[in-house]
Amino acid sequence: MKKLYYPRVCETVYEDTLSSGLRIVVVPKAGHEKKYAYLAANFGSIDRAFLRGGKAETVPMGIAHFLEHKLFDMPDYDVSEAFSLRGASPNAFTSYDITAYHFSCTEHFDECLKILLEFVGTGYFTEASVQKELGIIGQEIDMADDEPDSRCFEMLMENMYASHPVRERILGTHASIAQITPEMLRTCHSAFYRPDNMLLCVVGDVDPDEVRRIAAEAFPERSDECAEAPRKWQEDMTCRTAYSEQTMSVAKTMFQLGFKCEPLLPGMEGLRQEAVGGLAAEALFGETSPLYLRLYRQGLIDYSFGGGFENLSALAFLSIGGDTENPEAVRDAILQAARQIAADGIGQDALSRLKRASVGRHIRAMDNFASVCAQVCMYGLSGYDYFRTAEPFDGIRSEDIQEFIGRVITPERMSTAIIRPSKEEES
């Protein structure tokens, strides 16, 4: 294992790539009881069209999430029980571009790690279990339909993107998941759960070499599968539609504003773009901004207001949202404040303060081991190094923030999604 030290966040990390292609990142934490392990595949809800052995494949919406559920099935033992008997809590999540399986435990770490590597690497799918899962995931879809925050975000993605599959729901729909077959799950598993398409991250009081040994035993050789999800979609910097709204059972009108940004470049330049986007968001509408105080005092925003710079494969955007009685007034105020920053810039003191706060937040984030694991997987599978995300701050100038806001926070790149309260009846 290669030992690396990251001075900006004061973290020592061990890394290696096995002969099977599996990447391993271990962050030893002496003196902590709980150990965390995440095994993530570079396969998310956006990967619906891909080439496998030269053949074009298309799979139904929601299949990555469905696969996440079904991977917990093993032919000869109950995965949840195997973890629970060792005091471990397993779980998993599917995002737009990765699927991650994880557990935390205080004892029997080696055994739990073997179980994780085994069940994620196996893929056991039957017709009966697929049929049974339809009911459970159908309920999950219904539950998500009643969650206004996620619904509003989905609406924003539908508005902003014309061809990028981020506009589709991670869970899929009742109709799309009904098309899923065991064969399709096997195809996706073989194609994307290859060791060279996955990353294992462990944080806790563990021996990095022992983690490596266990992983090498589980994934001894490279898969002969040849599959590729190109993740290339044509998107310009205008939104598909500038506005949408719907009604739901909510207390107050809820909004999400999105501004399209250029996708990140590879390597440190991409991390620099991300740092500029994050600082620009803070400068424009963060709690230290004049705009935040003004909107708060006018009663136009409340505790729920917030946002930031987001990115995933082949896209990036800046989003702002919350509850308000008047989303149009908030939107106009944001555009006005952006015009002012684009014209006048931000002061050197203000920038130094924002950078200092951002670095402080990065350092504090290192104490959240579950989050570190998830971030290492998300950044790592996109080709970035999570532990270097705080490094670009030093080189960012106030002109960079001014230029970003002037270029991005404009009506041409903007879309708005609004959820308004429906009439409620109580009995």
Partner 1 sequence: MIKTIPMAPGVTLRCFSDSRFKQGCLSIQYLRPMCNEEAAQNALLPSILLSGCASAPDMREISLRLADLYGASVVPLVRRVGNIQTTGLYCSFIEEQYAMAGDRILAPLADFLCELLLRPVLQDGAFRADYVESEKANQISSVEAQLNDKRAYTQQQLLLKMCGDDSFSIPATGTVEEIAKITPQSACNHYHRVLEESPIEIFYLGTQSAQTVASLLQPLTEHRSDRLSALPAHTAFSGEGFAEYTQHLPVTQGKLCMGFSTPITIRDPAYPAMYVLSVLYGGGMTNKLFTQIREKQSLCYDIGALYVDSKGILLVSAGADFEKCALIRQKVLRQLTACCDGDFTASELDCAKQSILSALRSVEDTPAGMERFYCYQRLLGTNRTPEALFRMIEAVDAAQVAEAAKTVSLHCVYELKGEAQ
Q: Which is nearer to partner 1, 18 or 334 (CB)?
A: 334
At CB < 8 A and 24+ separation, what contacts does 140-146 make?
140/171, 141/169, 141/171, 141/172, 141/173, 141/174, 141/177, 144/169, 144/171, 146/248, 146/249
| Minimum CB–partner distance for residue 404 and partner 1 (Å) | 19
| Minimum CB–partner distance for residue 205 and partner 1 (Å) | 10
Q: Which is nearer to partner 1, 10 or 56 (CB)?
A: 10
| Minimum CB–partner distance for residue 151 and partner 1 (Å) | 10
Burial class (CB in 10 A: 0-12, 13-18, 19+), 102: buried
The yes-or-no answer on residue 225 being catalytic is no
Q: Which is nearer to partner 1, 221 or 287 (CB)?
A: 287
Q: Which is nearer to partner 1, 222 or 353 (CB)?
A: 353
Q: Which is nearer to partner 1, 236 or 424 (CB)?
A: 424
Burial class (CB in 10 A: 0-12, 13-18, 19+), 260: buried
Q: Exactly one of 68, 274, 310, 391 is catalytic; which is it? A: 68
| Minimum CB–partner distance for residue 286 and partner 1 (Å) | 8
Q: Which is nearer to partner 1, 224 or 424 (CB)?
A: 424
Distance CA 386, CA 9 (A): 10
| Minimum CB–partner distance for residue 381 and partner 1 (Å) | 25
| Minimum CB–partner distance for residue 62 and partner 1 (Å) | 14
Q: Which is nearer to partner 1, 178 or 293 (CB)?
A: 293
| Minimum CB–partner distance for residue 279 and partner 1 (Å) | 12
Q: Which residues are catalytic?
A: 68
